[in-house]
Amino acid sequence: MIEYTNLAVNHDGTIRGLKKKHVQMIAIGGTIGTGLFLGAGNSIAKTGPSILIVYAVLGAFFFMMMRGIGEMLYADPSQHTFVSFISKYVGAGAGYFAGWSYWIGLVFVAMAELTAVSTYVKFWFPNWQTWIIQIAFLFILTMINLIAVKLFGETEYWFAMIKIIAIVAMIVTGLFLIATGFKAPASGGHTVASFGNVFSNFTLFPNGASMFFAAFPMVFFAFQGMEFVGITTAETQNPREVLPKAINTIIFRILIFYLGAMIIIMSIINWHVIAKTPDESPFVMVFQLAGFKAAALVINFVVLTSAASALNSAIYSAGRHFYQLAEESDSKFMGNFREISSNGVPAKAIILTAVLVLLSPVINSIPQITSAFGFITSISSNMYIIVYAMTMYAHRKFRESSDFMPNGFVMPGYKWTSPLTLLFFAAIYVSLFFQSDSRMSAIGAIVFTIIFGYLSHRKFSSKVSTSTSTAS
């Protein structure tokens, strides 16, 4: 068995430049998305205090998924992406489909986040050209990814720190308001700050069962990207020491940063008041009630760094995924992307990703394509559910293989948690068909899966047939 603990450089030339503090903060940053700061109001509006149950259930299943991914990465920390395990344990065709699907999804995520970055910058500088903002941010973050993995780690460390400080500041402010019995003005519904506001006249379905279940996919996509911490494993110092700690603390981060923040918000402001303006950030509302007039400016800065962090992570992750695709491909074109630069990063794969993301300013400049871009982005988001489910199936096959380490970082309660997690992903996908705004993109993702899945299967089944006939 290879000992990965003290390796500074992988066999392929990538450098293990991420330290323990980087991985821990990347894990935290991956848990906290822009949706918490801006989308919390919309989530609360859907189903009131019972949104806490939605976050808790989804948090538990995402934790189980991460334990499954963590178990495989612990056994083989040299893998650059968790998707590579699909190729290894399910089949080359399945891995090809999942790898390309996930990479395409990452490119569209990067495009969407780049669009968001320009929107938040224009909050302060409305006269700046959108395309200039987008190209400038993309260039800076691409250079950060190209220079060294350690610089990427430092950048993500501080991006995550800003998000953590914002949430902790809101929680501390809220606790102070609760302790002093603060009474909100009319804009806050004259609510007297108290934890009792969350559970007073508690109803599971205050807006009906359909709205309660509609909150699940919304929160699911807020958690999307949590798996990113696993992608850093191949470039982490002491992976078998760092990975379990980073994954095991996910559940505590969800409890503190999501459930804790939601409880504080609904303790200070009546949730019915929040529901009247679902697009307004509850974080801004809490800080403004506390007398902090610059709250909107500060939260805009926080969501800007959050979007920049997501873009930075998408560039990093997409580069590693394309490198992995190149490694598994035998085409001459893909062979160009198997190189590792002298800085220990897959530079050509990162540059290709950045060039494709540059299409975002072009798309945003054509009014007729805007709706199509949103539709395609939704399809790519829905594809994540399918890739997650395939990853969990690969984990089941891993358990049956000789690679399984009974004394490794095993998934707790595997016999129950593994099938339940797979069923839960299926239920989330089915729920997309019951909402008008997600139904078409869910159908689009299925059409893509059928067509591309068939082509992927055919591509590799024909190779098997050819090799068999040659051998005979």
pLDDT tens figures, 157-203: 898 889 889 999 999 999 999 999 999 888 778 889 999 999 888 88
How many domains does the chain contain in total?
1
pLDDT computed for residue 462 by the predictor: 63
Residue 2 lies in a domain: no
Is the pLDDT reported for residue 212 higher than 70? Answer: yes
Is 1 within a domain? no
Domain assignment of residue 199, yes or no? yes
d(CA 314, CA 228): 9
Q: How far apart are CA 340 and CA 326, in angstroms?
A: 12
Q: What is the 3-state secondary structure (H, E, C) of 402-466?
A: CCCCCCCCCCCCHHHHHHHHHHHHHHHHHHHHHCHHHHHHHHHHHHHHHHHHHHHHHHHHHHHHH
- pLDDT of 401 > 90? The answer is yes
pLDDT, residue 6, reads 45
Note whether residue 14 is domain-resident: no
**Using the 8-state DSSP alphabet, how is residue 256 labeled?**
I
Q: What is the mean pLDDT of residues 364-379?
A: 70
Tens-place pLDDT, residues 24-45: 677 666 667 777 787 788 889 9
315 lies in a domain?
yes
Among the residue ranges 102-106, 247-251, 392-396, the one predicted with the least confidence is: 247-251
Token representation of residue 23? 């991985």
Cβ 370 vs Cβ 174: under 8 Å: no
pLDDT at position 287 is 92
Contact between 45 and 264 (Cβ < 8 Å): no
Q: How many CB atoms sit inside 10 A of residue 93's CB?
A: 21
Q: Give the percent of the chain with pLDDT over 90.
A: 38
Q: Give the single-character DSSP code of 383.
A: H
Give the separation between CA 162 and CA 165, rounded to whole angstroms: 5
Q: Residue 378 in 3-state DSSP?
A: helix
Residue 7 within any structural domain of the chain = no
Q: What is the mean pLDDT of residues 50-75?
A: 93
Q: State residue 344's pLDDT score.
A: 81
Average pLDDT, the chain: 85
**Residue that the structure tokens 């047939």 belong to:** 465
- On whether residue 404 sits in a domain, the answer given is yes
State pLDDT tens for residues 411-462. 999 999 999 999 999 999 998 888 888 889 899 999 999 999 999 988 887 6
Confidence label for 373 from pLDDT (cuts 50, 70 and 90): low
In angstroms, how far is the first alpha carbon of the chain from the final one?
35
124: domain range? 20-460
pLDDT for 371 = 64
Given a cut of 90, whether residue 106 has pLDDT beyond it is no
Sorted by sequence, the CB contacts under 8 Å of residue 309 that are 6+ apart come out as 29, 156, 159, 160, 163
- 238 pLDDT band, cuts 50/70/90, is confident
CATH of the domain at 103: 1.20.1740.10
pLDDT for 234 beyond 70: no
pLDDT at 9: 61
Q: Which residues pair with 236 in a beta bridge?
A: 18
Q: Is pLDDT at 468 greater than 50 in this prediction?
A: no
Residue 301 lies in a domain: yes
pLDDT reading at 7 higher than 60: no
* Spatial contact of 385 and 429, defined as CB atoms under 8 Å apart: yes
From 47, 403, 38, 87, select the one nearest 215 (Cα to Cα).
47
- Each residue's pLDDT tens digit, 272-331: 899 988 888 899 989 998 888 898 899 999 989 988 888 888 888 888 889 888 888 888
pTM attached to this predicted model: 0.86
- Which residues, in sequence order, are CB contacts of 148 under 8 Å at separation 6+? 15, 17, 343, 344, 345
